[in-house]
Amino acid sequence: MATSIPASGHAAPHGDSVDHDLKLRRGMLFYVLTDVIFVIFLLTTYVWLRAFHGDGWFPQGTKLPDQQTVYILTGLCVLSGIFYFIGFMGIRNGSQATLTICMAVATVLAIAALSGQIRFMGHLPFTTGDGSYASTYIMLSGYHIYHMLLGTFLGIGVTNRALRGRYSSDRTSGLSAIGYYWYWMALTPVLVTLMMLVLPPNS
């Protein structure tokens, strides 16, 4: 049976490494599922408020967020998720270059989306005092900033490890685990944008 020698100098069975990888993936998956449940609660709040305040939950004459900016920021997140997936599949096929390039691009896109989201939040045409819609929208947008802050930190770490050749075709558990979070980070703004289209605040 293959063994590895940890820092303590004692041989550890290969099975321990397999168990560690499984625990890592399960831990990240459970964290993402917890986050999914919380975002579902936020989206449900939007739907509930929308249903019971159809005539006046958004003050008359208040400007809405710039939808073009929303679509651009959402597109950056989606592209980031796509490049992450391409990089992951690249290393699965033994291509270090594909992983390194795609992870660098995915991280740059995430940083661009984060910067744009912070600027977007700073120029919203309303505050939490402008009604239920404004409060819910600001909560959703602000929580997504938290998503991207954590994603940026993870992306920089993964890119650094990719540059150092720490991943291989049979050593991808860390990428798989972080991928759960990365894809969810890319999907969240899509869900919010679709919900705003289906249940617009001003109709």
What is the DSSP track for 20-42?
A: HHHHHHHHHHHHHHHHHHHHHHH
Whether 5 shows a pLDDT value over 80: the answer reads no
Per-residue tokens: 140: 């959703």
Q: For the chain, where are the alpha helices, taking DSSP H only?
A: 14-52, 67-92, 96-122, 132-163, 173-198
CB atoms within 10 A of CB 4: 10
State the pLDDT confidence band at 186, using cuts at 50, 70 and 90.
Answer: very high
pLDDT > 60? residue 16: no
Model pTM score: 0.81
Rounded (10°) angle between helices 132-163 and 173-198: 160
Structure tokens at 172: 């991808």
Rounded Cα distance, 92 and 88, in Å: 6
Mean pLDDT score, 70-99: 94
What is the residue-averaged pLDDT of the chain? 82
Q: What is the pLDDT of residue 10?
A: 45
Q: What is the spatial distance between Cα 166 and Cα 69, in angstroms, rounded to a whole number? A: 37
Q: Which CATH number fits domain 71-203: 1.20.120.80, 3.40.1000.10, 1.10.10.10, 3.10.20.600?
A: 1.20.120.80
